Amino acid sequence: MAASNKKETVKQAVAGRTTGQFRCLYCFKRLSPPRGATEFTCPNCNYAWRVWWFNPGEPRIRGPVWENYEKLTKEKMQQGGV
Ligand SMILES: [Zn+2]
C-alpha cells in the first residue's frame, strides 16, 4: 500500500467558528468563561451572568445571576432532577 496523506483531518479541526464564548448582553463584549462554569462575571461591566452549556464547547447566557436563583430551582424541580 502507498502512503496516504492526511491533510483533511487538520482542515476539519480548524473550523472558522469561535467556540467557548458568548457575548455579554449588557456591554456586548465577547466573554470566554472557564469550561463548565455556571456563573461568569463580565470583566468589562461587572455584570454577573448565569451560564449554561449548550454543548461542552458552547456556553450560553441563561440570565442574570440575581434574578435566576429562584427560577432555576423551580425549573429543576419541575424537570424532576437532572
Ligand atoms: Zn459586559
Closest CA to 52 of 29, 30, 28, 68: 68
Taking the centre of ligand 1 as the mean of its atom positions, its distance from the CA of residue 82, in whole angstroms, is 30
pTM over 0.75: no
Taking the centre of ligand 1 as the mean of its atom positions, its distance from the CA of residue 43, in whole angstroms, is 7
Q: Which three cell numbers stand for residue 15?
A: 473550523
| Alpha carbon distance 34, 37 (integer Å) | 6
Taking the centre of ligand 1 as the mean of its atom positions, its distance from the CA of residue 31, in whole angstroms, is 8
Taking the centre of ligand 1 as the mean of its atom positions, its distance from the CA of residue 29, in whole angstroms, is 6
- φ, ψ dihedrals at 36, nearest 5°: 85, 0
The per-residue pLDDT string of the chain (82 residues; one tens digit each, 9 = 90 and over) reads 555 556 554 444 454 466 889 999 999 999 999 999 999 999 999 999 999 998 989 999 999 987 655 666 777 778 875 5
Domain boundaries, the chain: 18-76
Taking the centre of ligand 1 as the mean of its atom positions, its distance from the CA of residue 71, in whole angstroms, is 22
